[in-house]
Amino acid sequence: MDITRRQVLWAGGALGTAALLTACSGDGDTSSKAGGGGKPRKGGTLRVGALGRASAITRDPHGTQANESDYLIIALVYDTLTAPGAKDNTAPRLAASWKSSADLKTWRFKIAEGAKFHDGSPVTADDVVWSLKRLRGTPSGASRLPGIKAENIKAEGKDTVVLVSDYANAELPLLTRLSTFVLKKDTKEKELGKAPGTGPFKLDWFRSGNARLVRNEHWHGGDVLLDAIEVKIFESPQAMSNALLAGQIDLASNVGPVAARTAEKRKDIQVVRRPDDMAMPIIMRAGDGPFADPKVREALRLAVDRKAMVKQVLSGYGTVGNDIMGTGDPAYASDIPQRGRDLAKAKSLLKEADFDTSKTYKLMTTEDVPGLAESATLFASQVREAGVKIQVVKQESATFYDKTWLKADLYTTYWGTNDSVLFFASKTMESKSGQNEAAWKNKEFDAAYREAIGAKDADARAKALTRLQQIQHDDSGYLLWGVAEGIDLAAAPVHGLPKLPGYGRVQLERAWLAR
Amino acid sequence: MAGPLSGTVSERVAGLRPRPAGPVLSGTLRLAGLLARRALLLAVLLVTVFVAVELLPGDAANATSERGESAADLARRRELLGLDRPVLTRFWEWMTGLPTGDFGTSARGEPIADILSKPLPNTLLLGGLALLVTLAVSLALGCWAALKPGGATDRAVSATATGILALPEFVVAVALVLVFALWTDLLPAVTLTDADGTPASWRMLILPVLALAIPQIGWNVRIVRAALADEAKAPHVESAVIDGLPRHRVFTHHLLPGALPTVAAGIATSTGMLLGGAVVVETIFNYPGIGSVLAGAVTDRDGPLVAGVVAVTGAVITGVLLLADLVRSWASGGRI
């Protein structure tokens, strides 16, 4: 709209630094599918739409970010210690490397060399310690830095931060990917909105959920190509998709399958499909109740028509699941035979287990993520063919987490972190885990888990991981019928978009525009 | 939220009576009384809203928490938000802050005045423009139809008006986006904002204003047309016609002034409908107004934020109703 002097100056700045640019040939796995586009080009402003509600806006990097738009802005301005990666699920970010003690309790993170805040001051271990302690002190702190007490976050010299966990935790680096944003030590609460970060972009302005970010010329992570990113907040995916189709934005982040179906016909729009984005398993309580018998759980897993679920619930934008969580993990056991539909076997298993088919069982669900309630309804109609009567009960999100989650016999849940088998093993399946969704306890599984995290060599680890997944596939309380793809829509000139699931989508620092 | 306020006006549209013009003093007193009554009504409405949010299942601590927070974490969050105290105590604290301009803090810790500072003017701009368009078009069409009662124009206008008054805003809005943005590319599909928080271009206002105004035009054309027809039967209008005054003079000096109070009341009723419709229209056009703030605040069980939105919109509606009352009072008083 208003091409200001500032934008002209920025363009000038881009020309100046272009001379300094060595041919950085962007890494292969982030190049976008459409066009190829040739050599990455510097410059331009990317207009990104992201979902959010005006009432839920938060500027606090350690606050509860309900808005994807807020998270996107924060993740581009501030750096976390680690980040989601493609080859390994955890990639370096502000921490260049990390190492654990033999007992997997003490972890040392080394800060990237040359990392600086946007005001030019170098990042010290003190800044990181202060930020992590602040994160730990928030009401959600205990779940964001699990097992780490505030007093066990310490600096070691100028560039190393030591975290000591209460228990052995092989997945700690993975758990620091999402919310360990680093601010300057002693940043005042009132200045959170303007506090300098270390990320690839600097905040130009923020207003009511919308923001303009400009390139950080000195980012420690490498060259950033875009001059600027403008983040636009959208309350509904529908409006966001309309804005993209009408050319008002260049990228509609996480816009969903409905929009993708509309856009598939348009040649000037790229549909970016990010696999393993959202798992929506059905939880069958294993600890007690009508599903405690493994045969009943097996029967339900055989009664579901997975392909139909993916086709109808996800509009085909997803993959069939095999009742193992963490489908995007490089160590995912894709050689375990895929479970299919077998109604006859399901019926005989139910009979063997003396399952009461005269009763109607309640399946609790919410509308928290698109498709979740629909998946419950379709599942109910599918298992009816095996003689199991299920009534779907929809709950408000708040009520669900208060009354149903971790407690009910049968409910739907959803997880956005799907690139780690161990993440789920430690968080939701190991006997003593705090969020054991199905109250499932299996000694062999616990043993395999301990072996996997404690394994000295890669071979032993791989074997333990496979065993862990096999037990989960056979016995756990999870019925994972499929995993939804994350879907972004982008205009033709946009390249270098992330293909990672979940919050990997906010890594826009390698994006560039061919125009 | 506009229900109780606009309800009083709809009743008056039906039972309209000219009021004798009193001395200035009694007029002022009446105005003060009216203001006090409206303010009281608003206060009652706010308590109701506060309590209603409280009665919804779940609370703000739950709604703004992250998965995996323990019961102790939740208790701490509840305490931080003050939810451990009785709802009326919280309401009283919130209410007593209002006169100083302190609207309290949202469940996510942002000052409510900040949250509303940009969206409110945007919604007022949208609603105000829609009201102006409604007024102008309704008057024009209503008069046009009333010029020849029972004629082809009259029948066409009245039938169309009835048809569109039954259309919900979202149908109109979706149709407008399809036709003018996605198919013909004539106008922007959504509203995007500038650094100052206002719509980046005036062209972005056209479709939302139309989406809001069209159903209201349907309603108000009917009112204007009916008011003019009633007034045409009035003795002073008939005598003006018999006196042989020119037609346009009869229209502007005798017919229209008489119909004005009813028209004003009809338009005032539309204010509530416009602000209610804004919630839907703002979502479809991504318009940065208070509609989306309200919808989100209810989801978050954010009592103070819901009440903040109701307070400001309630104040606006009250103001418009008051203005309509004054117009009616002035119009009927001037005539007698």
- pLDDT tens digits, A377-386: 999 999 999 9
Residue of B56, B59, B64, B66 to mutate for A, most A C-beta atoms under 10 A: B66
Q: In what order do the strands lie in the sheet with A360-365?
A: A389-394, A360-365, A410-412, A282-284, A478-479
d(CA B20, CA B329): 9
pLDDT at A153: 97
Strand positions, DSSP E, B248-295: none
Positive or negative: CA dihedral B242, B244, B247, B249: negative
Percent of chain B clearing pLDDT 90 (strictly above): 22
d(CA B288, CA B291): 8
- For the ranges A90-94, A110-114, B124-128, B268-272, the lowest mean pLDDT is seen at B268-272
- A window 412-441, beta carbon within 8 A of B: 434-435
d(CA B102, CA B115): 12
A210 chain-B contacts, CB cut-off 8 A: 192-193, 197, 288
pLDDT at B166: 84
- Asked whether residue B21 carries a pLDDT value surpassing 90, the answer given is no
Positive or negative: CA dihedral A400, A403, A409, A415: positive
A209 chain-B contacts, CB cut-off 8 A: 288
Residue type, A55: S
The Cα-based distances of B326 to A96, B32, B231, B322, B334 in angstroms read 71, 12, 20, 6, 12
Of A13 and A468, more confident:
A468
d(CA A487, CA A262): 12
- For the ranges A23-27, A287-291, A409-413, B32-36, the lowest mean pLDDT is seen at A23-27
* Digit-coded pLDDT (tens) for B250-295: 888 888 888 888 888 888 888 888 888 888 899 999 999 988 888 8
pLDDT at A432: 83
- A window 206-225, beta carbon within 8 A of B: 207-210, 212
In 3-state terms chain A splits into helix, strand, coil percentages (rounded to 5) of 30, 20, 45
pLDDT at B4: 40
> How are beta strands A228-234 and A45-51 bridged, if at all?
parallel
Backbone angles phi, psi at A478, to 5 degrees: -95, 135
- Asked whether residue B310 carries a pLDDT value surpassing 70, the answer given is yes
Residue A119's contacts (CB-CB under 8 Å, 6 or more residues apart) are A196
d(CA B66, CA A397): 11
Mean pLDDT of chain A: 89
Q: Which chain A residue has its CA at the smallest distance from B293's CA?
A: A55
Percent of chain A clearing pLDDT 90 (strictly above): 73
> If phi over 0 gives left and psi between -120 and 50 gives alpha, with beta otherwise, what is residue A208?
left
Chain A: closest CA distance from residue B308 (Å): 11
Q: Which two tokens stand for residue B31?
A: 């105005």
Cross-strand partners of A390: A361
Residue type, B158: S
* Digit-coded pLDDT (tens) for A471-515: 999 999 999 999 999 999 999 999 999 999 888 899 999 999 998
Query: B192 CB near a chain A CB, below 8 Å?
Result: yes
Cross-strand partners of A415: A279
The torsion of the CA quartet B178, B179, B182, B186, rounded to 10 degrees, works out to -140
Query: B198 CB near a chain A CB, below 8 Å?
Result: no
Asked if B224 and B139 count as a contact pair (C-beta separation under 8 A), the reply is yes
The Cα-based distances of A289 to A150, A355, A439 in angstroms read 39, 11, 11
Work out the angle between the directed axes of helices B290-299 and B303-335 (0-180°, nearest 10).
140
Query: A398 CB near a chain B CB, below 8 Å?
Result: yes
Of A290 and B228, more confident:
A290
- B window 266-305, beta carbon within 8 A of A: 282-286, 288, 292-297, 299-302, 305
Residue of A48, A55, A213, A427 to mutate for B, most B C-beta atoms under 10 A: A55
Chain A: closest CA distance from residue B258 (Å): 45
pLDDT at B74: 77
d(CA A511, CA A383): 45
Render the burial of A38-76: b for 16+ CB within 10 Å, e for the rest.
eebbbbbbbbbbbbbbbbbbbbbbbbbbbbbbbbbbbbb
- For the ranges A212-216, A303-307, B183-187, the lowest mean pLDDT is seen at B183-187
Chain A: closest CA distance from residue B80 (Å): 9
Chain B: closest CA distance from residue A234 (Å): 6
In 3-state terms chain B splits into helix, strand, coil percentages (rounded to 5) of 75, 0, 25
Question: What is the separation of C-alpha A439 from the centre of its chain, rounded to a whole number of angstroms?
Answer: 24
Backbone angles phi, psi at A443, to 5 degrees: -65, -40
Question: What is the separation of C-alpha A228 from the centre of its chain, rounded to a whole number of angstroms?
Answer: 24
Which residue in A1, A238, A396 is closest to B57 by CB distance?
A: A396
Asked if A156 and A125 count as a contact pair (C-beta separation under 8 A), the reply is yes
Which residue in A232, A396, A397 is closest to B192 by CB distance?
A: A232
HSE-CB at A443 with a 13 A cutoff on CA atoms is 0
d(CA B317, CA B271): 6
pLDDT at B5: 38
> How are beta strands A389-394 and A360-365 bridged, if at all?
parallel
Q: Which two tokens stand for residue B260?
A: 């004005």
User: What pLDDT band is residue B333 in, cutting at 50, 70 and 90?
Assistant: low
Question: Looking at residues A231-255, what average pLDDT do you find?
Answer: 94
- B window 115-154, beta carbon within 8 A of A: 115, 118-119
Which residue in A207, A246, A405 is closest to B197 by CB distance?
A: A207
Question: Looking at residues B171-189, what average pLDDT do you find?
Answer: 93
Contact A398 B62 (CB under 8 A): yes
* Digit-coded pLDDT (tens) for A276-303: 999 999 999 999 999 999 999 999 999 9
Q: Which two tokens stand for residue A475?
A: 């016995």
* pTM, 2 dp: 0.83
Place of tokens 């009035």: B234
Asked if B144 and B204 count as a contact pair (C-beta separation under 8 A), the reply is no
- Asked whether residue A4 carries a pLDDT value surpassing 60, the answer given is no
Which residue in B62, B110, B285 is closest to A58 by CB distance?
A: B110
d(CA A59, CA A71): 9
* Selection from A273, A297, A281, A302 nearest residue A418 by Cα: A281
* Selection from B269, B289, B271 nearest residue B125 by Cα: B289
Contact A2 B177 (CB under 8 A): no
Residue of B53, B67, B176, B198 to mutate for A, most A C-beta atoms under 10 A: B67
Which residue in A140, A234, A242 is closest to B73 by CB distance?
A: A140
Of A50 and B332, more confident:
A50
Contact A144 B66 (CB under 8 A): yes
CA B151, B155, B159 angle in degrees (round to 5)?
175
User: What pLDDT band is residue A391 in, cutting at 50, 70 and 90?
Assistant: very high
- Asked whether residue A130 carries a pLDDT value surpassing 50, the answer given is yes
Asked if A235 and A463 count as a contact pair (C-beta separation under 8 A), the reply is no
* Digit-coded pLDDT (tens) for B107-153: 887 888 888 988 999 999 999 999 999 999 999 998 888 877 788 88
Q: Which two tokens stand for residue B114?
A: 């900040």
pLDDT at A217: 95
Of B117 and A201, more confident:
A201
- For the ranges A26-40, A328-342, A451-465, the lowest mean pLDDT is seen at A26-40
Work out the angle between the directed axes of helices A306-313 and A372-383 (0-180°, nearest 10).
150
Q: Which two tokens stand for residue A37?
A: 């586009």
d(CA B115, CA B306): 11
Assess: ipTM above 0.90.
no
User: What pLDDT band is residue B10 in, cutting at 50, 70 and 90?
Assistant: very low
Cross-strand partners of A91: A83
Asked if A282 and A411 count as a contact pair (C-beta separation under 8 A), the reply is yes
* Selection from B217, B214, B221, B213 nearest residue B144 by Cα: B221
- For the ranges A15-19, B106-110, B233-237, B328-332, the lowest mean pLDDT is seen at A15-19
